Amino acid sequence: MYLCSDDEVRTFCPNTGSTLNVKFIGHEAEITAIAFDPTHSRRLTLLTSSQDCTLRSWDALNGTQLKVFTAPGSILSMIAPAGKSLQGLDTIYFSCWQRKSNIHRTEGGRILAFSMSKFNISDHLAKTGIPPKLVGSPLGNLVGAFERHSINVWSLEYKEGLGSRTRHIVRLHHSKPITVIAFSESEDTLAAGDTTGRITLWRGFSKPSSAHINWPCRSNFPSHFADRKLSDKNIAGDRVGSVGKGKLFESSLSCSALHWHAASVTCLSFASDGAHLLSGGFESVLVIWQLNEDRRSYIPQIGAPLNFILQFPGDFTRVAVGCADNSVRIISLATLTTEVKIVGIRPAALCTQHVTSYPIISTVSTVNSNSVKVLSSGPQFAELVVASKAVSVFERRPFPSISFHPDSRTICFATMGTQIQLYKYTDEHESATLHVAPQNVVNGAGGSDDPPEQYISVAEFNTDGSVLATIDRRYDMKSTNANSGRHGDQHNGEEALSLETLRIWEWHRSEVESDKVDKIVRALEGEFVCVSTFESPHAKSVTSLQIRGVLNKGSLMACSVSLDGVVKIWIPSCQAYGARSLGSKSWICRSTVAHQGFPSPALLTVNFSQDESLLATSGMHIVLWDP
């Protein structure tokens, strides 16, 4: 299995999910599409398109780069509709931006046909506002593209001595913005999903008499097609249902609708048996539509919103489902279970929300590739002016956490869904996942109307990684009240009052019964057990937390600071009162201090010295303490 990962392609075993050694490295920007070269029947050549304005061919076995073609602009979509017919054996299609000469501006999008034998552009299909998503039919006779409310479909022709030719046959209009389209195996049906969750089916694109369709032959050509070629021109002005050269009557297509999704349909795929349609969206549910019997079944709780569905060649019982948490799940349609899961670095919390709602000065976050990238950088919190700006940003929303587990040498990411992902960066695989605050998922369309996301703002380990402290942050939406005396994020005319929970976790090698603790998650040959929970540990947002000492050594101590200017010291209860009074598996707040001033200035960071004998807290000033 070949998967795009930012600017490279990685290979995985679809039976085990393990990483293979072959990588395809050479692009200088994100790879947008991947396909097999249709001129090689044994699938020995791989094609990739990228936003670096190049189309490249590779040896599929060892990752050696073969050819490079420079496109007019950044390529956003590419398909190689070879299928089982002769029409597409020489032609692939891609959509890209059209750059102006000597200017860093574009003239809109272009849909282009590319000849693999000549390795150059062979035809210009359309001019669009933005480069659209291209979809090919399984047999390779049809190419579709959608933009806003319209769908354009082209047919492919192959004539001896002339090669492949493409002509526009129909333009369909939809009342809602279209999000995804798919062709059936027989090329008779086109399915389109929209932003309301509805799936529209158009039937009648062909009248096949067998599995192999010879489109160029007049006797087998559908009767509602004209036999004359459409002249090359901009198709943006074509009217719905208009009759022209090479046109298909829209009235000859029967139309029906399916509706289950509550939000946008993000992916569609017809099963190779022709009797089922698969769909997915923000609900994290794979819906299986039985078209002949007008029934549907579900595979719920996949784990994240669905991005794409890919059929396995020659096996209609298995599909690969790409999810928004940067994972690919291989699902059996026969047993309705997940067989294999391939997981990269999960997206950070807040990435699914609108970025403009969350100002950031300096932080790191994950992207959809297996890498960590700096989103933005800024000066350190040294001067008073910078510190005050950082306080205002933190007042609105603290950053999602990222830390390091010292014992297993894994990176600890705060990901979507109030989870912590322990990622082994040396082997590039997920070691474990800790569900800090399990919650009921509220489905949304990913827009500004969605409720603020609950996430983990702090996650810190002690010296040997045996103790973990987390702060999960959630919001209580209430109407804005000027006399309330509390402050929070403004969200659609309401005030989001932030509520935080401090949880202390200890790592135990032996298994503990689940009814004795809040949560047990296996990780790193042991399990993290939540031993203490504190609601609203500070009056305002916790900005930093550090832990010193080793478990069961009598020197454990945690220190937290917040925007209210208060420093709190947390220790195990056994160190304060003895192991028999409150039990060894609980923590308490031992003491509270604050910096001088009224009101106390906001504090941003806290840390212990290397020998753990001193404690430093900082805001407007740095203060040293004897803990």
Domains and CATH numbers, the chain: 260-343 (2.40.10.480), 355-477+491-625 (2.130.10)
Tokens describing residue 382: 């040294």
> Beta-carbon neighbour count of residue 264 at 10 Å?
22
Q: If we measure between CA atoms, which residue out of 83, 209, 215 comes closest to residue 157?
A: 215
| CB distance 621 to 595 below 8 Å | yes
Phi, psi of 191 (to 5 degrees): -110, 140
In this structure, is the dihedral angle defined by the CA atoms of residues 18, 23, 28 and 31, taken in order, positive or negative? Answer: negative
pLDDT of residue 124: 87
What are the Cα distances from residue 241, in Å, to 172, 249, 286, 315? 8, 6, 34, 38
**Pairing assessment for the beta strands 286-290 and 372-376 based on DSSP bridges:** unpaired
Beta-ladder partners of 499: 474
Q: Which one-letter amino acid corresponds to residue 81?
A: P
pLDDT of residue 65: 93
pTM (two decimals): 0.74
Cα gap 417→439, rounded to integer Å: 8
Q: Which helix (H) or strand (E) holds 394?
A: helix 384-396
Q: Helix count (H) and strand count (E) of the chain?
A: 2, 46
Cα gap 307→327, rounded to integer Å: 10
Average pLDDT for runs of 10 along the chain of length 627: 89 88 91 87 84 92 91 91 59 86 72 86 87 88 89 76 66 90 90 94 66 33 32 36 45 84 93 88 92 88 89 85 91 90 82 34 30 31 36 55 80 84 83 79 54 80 90 65 43 59 84 44 64 92 91 86 93 73 71 89 92 91 91
| CB distance 142 to 153 below 8 Å | yes
Tokens describing residue 298: 């579900």
| CB distance 110 to 86 below 8 Å | no
pLDDT of residue 40: 75
pLDDT of residue 507: 84
Q: If we measure between CA atoms, which residue out of 41, 40, 30 comes closest to residue 66?
A: 40
What are the Cα distances from residue 19, in Å, to 25, 133, 465, 517? 16, 29, 27, 36
CA of residue 174 relative to chain centroid, distance: 27
Q: If we measure between CA atoms, which residue out of 209, 227, 109 comes closest to residue 165?
A: 227
CA atoms in the 13 A half-sphere facing the CB of 166: 30
Q: C-alpha angle 349/350/354, rounded to 5°?
A: 160
pLDDT of residue 141: 83
DSSP-assigned letter for residue 248: B
| CB distance 36 to 59 below 8 Å | no
Using the CB atoms, write b or e for 72-92: b if 16+ within 10 Å.
ebbbbbbbbbbbebbbbbbbb
CA of residue 377 relative to chain centroid, distance: 23
Tokens describing residue 86: 């002769």
Q: If we measure between CA atoms, which residue out of 79, 107, 74, 109 comes closest to residue 91?
A: 79
Map residue 598 onto helix, strand or coil.
Answer: coil
Helix then strand then coil, in percent of the chain rounded to 5, is 5, 50, 45
Q: C-alpha angle 19/20/26, rounded to 5°?
A: 105
Q: If we measure between CA atoms, which residue out of 423, 427, 462 comes closest to residue 545?
A: 462
Cα gap 409→465, rounded to integer Å: 10
Which residues have CB under 8 Å from 546's CB, separation 6+? 460, 558, 559, 606, 607, 608
pLDDT of residue 581: 44
Map residue 53 onto helix, strand or coil.
Answer: coil
Cα gap 222→205, rounded to integer Å: 8
Phi, psi of 594 (to 5 degrees): -155, 160
Tokens describing residue 603: 């504090």
The maximal CA–CA distance of the chain, rounded, in angstroms, is 93
Q: Which helix (H) or strand (E) holds 602?
A: none
Cα gap 288→504, rounded to integer Å: 42
